[in-house]
Structure 1
Amino acid sequence: MAEKQISLPAKLINGGAAGIIGVTCVFPIDLVKTRLQNQRSGQQIYKNMLDCLIKTLRAEGYFGMYRGAAVNLTLVTPEKAIKLAANDYFRHLLTKEGTVLSLSKEVMAGCGAGTCQVIITTPMEMLKIQLQDAGRLVSPQLVSKIPCAVSGCKIVAVSPVLTRAYNVGPLTFPERVSATKIAAQILHTQGIKGLYKGLGATLLRDVPFSVIYFPLFAHLNRAERDFTEERAPFFRSFLAGCVAGSVAAVSVSPCDVIKTRLQSMGRGRNDNYNGIIDCARKVWLQEGLSAFLKGAGCRALVVAPLFGIAQGVYFIGLGEYIIELCQYGRLST
């Protein structure tokens, strides 16, 4: 049975709305994932995910947990829209009338979707990671710069104003860094290619992710389904998205670690990686194989609800409903 084709505007609305809802719900865990992945052996600030959440909340406040969220919320609509719409387009293109899409063609559709989305994903992740990791870099510097009258004393609390600052100076109130300023600086010094640093690593992560995710989701969503149903129920789409998302996320975690290291390179540290292979080799030699799974649990916790919500909203048909309302309103006037 050929799959029902949904209009492109509906796909864009579904993907965009689902992306915004999902990012808003899970962004603090994504911030924790980035900070854990950027920790080096012997320089650990956070012991685990919970420790990172508590320390970030205490040092930077509630809004510190959403550092870099504005970039994601701005760009997640086109990013998720492209990903979901591209997958649907390739699946429809590869499906013959009266037949079910084969696994190999599902993989091809997922590969195409993952390739298309990096146009938006790479600069979005670049700016987001720069902002997310800034708080991790500044905290130790702040503590070391605060004078202590008694030798050997222990700093118990740090001023929230100072803790939230990015560029630390002795007893000064430095200017906060925004995504706009980071983007302007990158464009000025490196040009447009600077925003696409880590493009290869992003492809290495997102293409395999889509190759795993979309076929797995399609099969889970179709399992034990009544073929008289035109659309899967919300709970089935949600659970299928969660399971497929978490499996795909953990599978590509090593690629995500490499991408994060490359995109945060040069911000407050002396790391120097000459590409994907050099980064992978240095991480392996200096930190061991376990470093490639840093933040894997966080990533699964981020991606599972993110794609569960995305697919739930997508299959509910929010976009179609909004378009119908607009058409009805136009006909009524």
Structure 2
Amino acid sequence: MGQSEQKKPAQFNILPKIINGGIAGVIGVTCVYPLDLVKTRLQNQPIGPNGERMYKSIADCFRKTIASEGFFGMYRGSAINILLITPEKAIKLAANDYFRYHLSTNEGVVSLPRAGLAGGLAGLFQIVVTTPMELLKIQMQDAGRVATAARAAGQEVKKVTALGLTKQLLRERGIFGLYKGVGATGVRDVTFSVIYFPLMASINNLGPRKADGSGEAVFYWSMMAGYEAGTTAAFTVTPLDVIKTRLQASGGQKYDGIMDCVRKTLYNEGVSAFFKGGLCRVMVVGPLFGIAQTFYFLGVGETILGMDKHKSI
């Protein structure tokens, strides 16, 4: 809910929340997608025997990607991400509000443990969409890095598309091919949501309220609450995100599950490898959730459905 606690409404309206979440996700991911692509490539790039690597920093990755693939190369894999981010964010944000509603007291108060439980359940529900979305996104993003290296070696490069990848995964592994890395995705998303939602709500409750008597925080405070909570949660789960990214990427080192990925990464690269792309991830997730949370609270779904958002939840 993320606003000052009031008497619990008699009914929870899920449809406008789903609409709000979908709109929030599309706007948020469109704004930060280039940074997300850089994060993926930094996390999954191989290191040579003498420490050589393709990208030396965030700025270097941006420069080399644009030089080799053009500006729109920064949006490689974005179509599938934007398409699936609508149900993903709709589920995540709406489910958190739904569980918070049912776990709150009659006065609308949600204790910290119950807020964490609501967030965790929201994170668990979203992986149905998140896993295939991120699998395709990561493989599309990483395909650019692999293609650049292949061209540099004088090899022929076959164009990779999201539809082609989907057909290949379905042909080779069936529907479960789209759920490669689902365990790591679940661990990351549940942990993230347990941290993010209670922290965001707590920060949001501390800010100045609107003058309309609704009890809602002013928009810039909601954006800041989403940004700060998103940044904190994103940094905390960076090691889990690195593991998930490596399990889902198509090239490079192969892993037999989460523990094998942890073992091989520690052996080959050390502890610091689990924080690869961490700064970039924080730069992606903080603004993404700040923007998404703000648009979610605007209540576009209620407006479309002709509902008074101050009288519904």
TM-score by length of 1: 0.86
Superposed displacement of residue 176, structure 1:
2.1
Identity of aligned residues (%): 53
Q: Which residue of 2 aligns with 1:297?
A: 279
Q: Cα deviation per residue 1:137-180 (whole Å; 9 max; x = unaligned)? A: 121221221xxxxxxxxxxxxxxxxxxxxxx42xxxx6522111
Q: Can you list the C-alpha shifts for 1:2-46, whole angstroms capped at 9, x where unaligned?
A: 455662221111111111111111100000000000022325100
The alpha-carbon deviation at position 317 of structure 1 amounts to 1.2
CA distance in 2, matches of 1:225, 1:31: 35
Aligned mate of 1:94, from 98, 103, 112: 103
Alpha-carbon distance in 2 for matches of 1:209, 1:182: 28
Q: Which residue of 2 aligns with 1:232?
A: 217
Q: Does 1:131 align with 2:140?
A: yes
* 1:114 and 1:203 in contact (8 A); partners too: yes
Once residues 225 and 94 of structure 2 are traced to their aligned partners in structure 1, the CA distance between those partners, rounded to angstroms, is 18
- 1:97 maps to amino acid: N
Amino acid at match of 1:293: F
Paired residue total: 296
Pair 18,226 (structure 1): closer, same or farther in 2 beyond 3 Å: closer
Task: Give the structure 2 partner of residue 16 of structure 1.
Answer: 22
Q: Distance in 1 between matches of 2:300 and 2:220?
A: 15
**Alpha-carbon distance in 1 for matches of 2:226, 2:107:** 26
After TM superposition, which residue ranges in structure 1, 4 or more long, deviate above 2 angstroms? 1-7, 40-43, 224-230
Any conservation in 1 of the 2:208–2:221 contact (CA below 8 Å)? Answer: no
Kindly report which structure 2 residues correspond to 1:299-314, keeping only aligned pairs within 5 A, or say none. 299-314=281-296
Counterpart Cα distance in 2 of 1:278 and 1:129 = 20
Question: RMSD of the TM alignment (CA)?
Answer: 1.6
Q: What letter matches 2:40 in structure 1? A: T
Distance change (3 Å), C-alpha of 1:2 and 1:225: farther
The CA deviation string for residues 90-126 of structure 1, in whole angstroms up to 9 with x for no partner, is 0001011115110000000011000000000000000
Name the residue aligned to 1:119: 128
Paired residue for 1:328? none
Aligned to 1:148: none
C-alpha contact 1:232 1:315 (8 A) present in aligned 2: no
Secondary structure class of the residue paired with 1:273: coil
CA distance in 2, matches of 1:140, 1:106: 46
User: What letter is aligned with 1:237?
Assistant: S
Contact 2:81 2:133 (C-alpha < 8 Å) held by counterparts: yes
* Deviation of 1:282 (Å): 0.6
Q: Say if 2:72 is the partner of 1:47.
A: no
Tell me, in whole angstroms, the C-alpha distance in 1 between the residues paired with 2:170 and 2:43: 26
The equivalent of 1:257 in structure 2 is 242
Work out the CA distance in 1 between the residues paired with 2:32 and 2:84: 16
In structure 2, distance between residues paired with 1:24 and 1:175: 27
Task: Look up the match of 1:84.
Answer: 93
User: Partners in 1 of 2:8 and 2:63 — Cα distance?
Assistant: 46
Distance 2:246 2:207 in 1: 42
Once the 2 structures are TM-superposed, how far is the Cα of residue 226 of structure 1 from its aligned partner? 5.0
Alignment partners' CA distance in 2, 1:200 and 1:57: 33
Q: Secondary structure at the match of 1:324?
A: coil
Amino acid at match of 1:257: V
Question: What is the CA–CA distance in structure 2 between the aligned matches of 1:7 and 1:311, rounded to whole Å?
Answer: 18
Say which SS state the counterpart of residue 153 (structure 2) adopts: helix
Gaps of 5+ in 2: 1-5, 308-313
Quick one: distance in 2 between partners of 1:224 and 1:12?
25
- In structure 1, the gaps of 5 or more residues are 146-167, 326-333
**Structure 2 letter corresponding to 1:230:** G
Q: Which of these residues, 181, 187, 205, is aligned with residue 222 of structure 1?
A: 205
Residue identity opposite 1:196 in structure 2: Y
